[in-house]
Amino acid sequence: MLRPHTPRASFRALIATACCAVLGAGLLAGAGSAAAEQDKGTPTKAAAGSKVVGYFTEWGVYDRNYHVKNVDTSGSADKLTHINYAFGNVQGGKCTMGDAYAATDKAYTADQSVDGVADTWDQDLRGNFNQLRKLKKKHPDLKVLWSFGGWTWSGGFTEAAKNPAAFAQSCYDLVENSKWADVFDGIDIDWEYPNACGLTCDTSGREAYKSLMSAVRSKFGANNLVTAAIPADAETGGKIDAADYAGAAQYVDWYNPMTYDYFGAWDAKGPTAPHSPLTSYSGIPKESWNSEGTIKKLKGLGVPAEKLLLGIGFYGRGWTGVTQKEPGGTATGPAAGKYEQGIDDYKELKTKCPANGTVGGTAYAHCGNNWWSYDTPATIAGKMDYKNQQGLGGTFFWELSGDTSNGELIKAIN
């Protein structure tokens, strides 16, 4: 079973303690819902092959101290076509706020703000949403989608599947709220996983996903983007087979198959294996668990290549107690990471455990008794060659704060 990307899972601990604030009342001056809709217009859709979609995590503004301004100062905003803002919650079958304090209320000083202007106590919208508005003003071609669900917050989709129209209406009402309607250009659905098990298990049936995505598209219409993160398990009878992703493809602008986290230190004793191999290789623990296998599976089911984006992880996964340099070694448990066990950002790993080998189109590193796997600018370049050869719609990655301060990895994507 494919595992979640742990930064999503670690959000469980954060939301238990994060402060949430009541949203300010009233509309932005001179901006009613109709005006906001007019200002937004029809989202410009990047040509097939050129999309670069990066996740911005709502909780990154806390321990990671990563803010919307960093997207600009790193140069990433110039390289991105779209940002997925992660995550909105799904509760009681409806879209709801995640951390309202981070999203709409956190006050930014002048030096923290995208445009150098400090928030005031009486303005109607602060937080990440206001900073994203400023980022879009500075980079007019950049589009932002609000992503709902993720590993921790997917449980509400089971109830949503019972009344897709009500779910879609709740999402539309929240995303298109008149206070921030100009911030978002659409919605991203991250259900982990339809008719399968993630943090919780769903038994809504194989057709439920198609019905839900149809309702979302119907409500959001042609002037908003509708996208979805989907599983990468290409095994016969695996998570891709559990739902009708091919049938639902007509309702999405593109899919983000999560072609990372195939392997990791949740298998505490190994064998060691790169978490995001592009291709299979001799000794891989599961033959089909690689990006090429996932893309081949989805295309074979009838999902158009231009609606598939290749997923890249801006992080590594690792084990400790490893004596063998090459993949396939045994371990004693997860390696220590900066924020949690078994995972660390590329910006940390590139210096503390530099890559010294490649396999399956990605990199690995053996330093001391630790073994890590992660993508580097060189291996990302190889993955971009594959993306172009396959005619895929572009690239997406998890997530922006894992890159270096000067955007080393996103530059390799471009």
Q: State the catalytic residues.
A: 192
Q: Please name which of 126, 92, 6 lies closest in space to residue 402, comparing C-alpha atoms.
A: 6
Cis ω before 220 (30° cut-off from 0): no
Non-local (6+) Cβ contacts of 266 within 8 A are 3, 342
Per-position b or e across 270-282, b if 16+ CB within 10 A of its CB: bbbbbbbbbebbe
CA-based nearest residue to 90, from 183, 7, 198, 17: 198
Rounded distance between C-alpha atoms, residue 99 and residue 103, angstroms: 6
Closest C-alpha among 192, 187, 186 to residue 156: 192
Residues in contact with 47: Cβ distance below 8 Å, sequence separation at least 6, in sequence order: none
Secondary structure (3-state) at 118 = coil
∠ CA(387), CA(390), CA(396), 5° rounding?
A: 30
> For residue 376, which amino acid is it?
T
Which residue do the tokens 């906001």 mark?
36
Closest CA to 274 of 283, 263, 258: 263
- Of 302, 297, 409, which Cα lies nearest the Cα of 349? 409
Residue 22, classified by CB atoms within 10 Å of its CB into exposed (0-12), middle (13-18) or buried (19+), is exposed
Residue 91, token pair as written in the block: 């509760």
d(CA 201, CA 196): 6
Neighbours of 217 (CB within 10 A): 19
* CA 152 to the chain's CA centroid: 13
Cα–Cα distance list, 64 to 56, 298, 401 (Å): 12, 35, 8
